[in-house]
Structure 1
């Protein structure tokens, strides 16, 4: 059974909060999309990621990599980290079907989340650099 991620969290990491919130709202759709593309392995990939997000204290490199890999899977960019999913079920889907439309929407939303995370990282790095320069002066 798919458990919802808490949207409100005690984590101080704003990127983790954003990802948890995203998955709280779209986790089921992402599971379905990954399942349509890569079968049970795709669904399991999303469920493991959601489990990791529940236990995480920060958005570490491993979780970030799995988020990018999930986006690549949903984007049908099939080879990442030496892994090549089974895309044979994809051939059976009608491009005009509601399932394909949902996959596209889920993929676009995940991309927006990845962009948001990157922008947060850039702002945080700029702030850290400014603070270092102030401390040095």
Structure 2
């Protein structure tokens, strides 16, 4: 059984809190989807990511990279740091099946999460530059 990701933390990183909340809600389904597509290696990737989220104090570059890798796996992107998922079980699935529909939905939600993280990065960068622009004027 998967342990829950803590959503009530002392982390000041709003991005980490957002990702933890997403995985609290969808973590089991993401692991199942990763297992369906990538077999044992796919589920191991998802579980490593979830473990890193549990232990993190901020959303670092490695964890972000793992998020992107999980999205690429679910998107059936064949090249991920030398990891090529075993797609033989995927080929046996009916494209109109509920499993494929669920994987597509999870992939879209994960993409939306990545976009949200990127937007927060841009907002933080803008706030960080704001004092400099005021003193330069």
Give the CA deviation at 1:82: 2.2
1:108 and 2:114 equivalent? Answer: no
- Length, aligned pairs only: 137
Once residues 130 and 78 of structure 2 are traced to their aligned partners in structure 1, the CA distance between those partners, rounded to angstroms, is 40
Give the CA deviation at 1:136: 5.2
1:126 and 2:126 equivalent? Answer: yes
Structure 1: gaps (5+ residues):
none
Q: How far does the alpha carbon of each residue in 1:107-134 deviate from its partner, in whole angstroms, 9 at most, with x for none?
A: 0100000000000000000110112333
Which residue in the other structure is 2:83 paired with?
Answer: 83
Is the partner of 2:118 in helix, strand or coil?
Answer: helix
Q: How far does the alpha carbon of each residue in 1:31-75 deviate from its partner, in whole angstroms, 9 at most, with x for none?
A: 011011011111111111000001001100000001001000000
Which residue in the other structure is 1:71 paired with?
Answer: 71
Contact 1:8 1:21 in 2 (8 A): no
Structure 2: gaps (5+ residues):
none
Q: How does 1:1-137 map to 2 (within 5 A)?
A: 1-135=1-135
Contact 2:39 2:85 in 1 (8 A): no
TM-score (normalizing by structure 2): 0.95
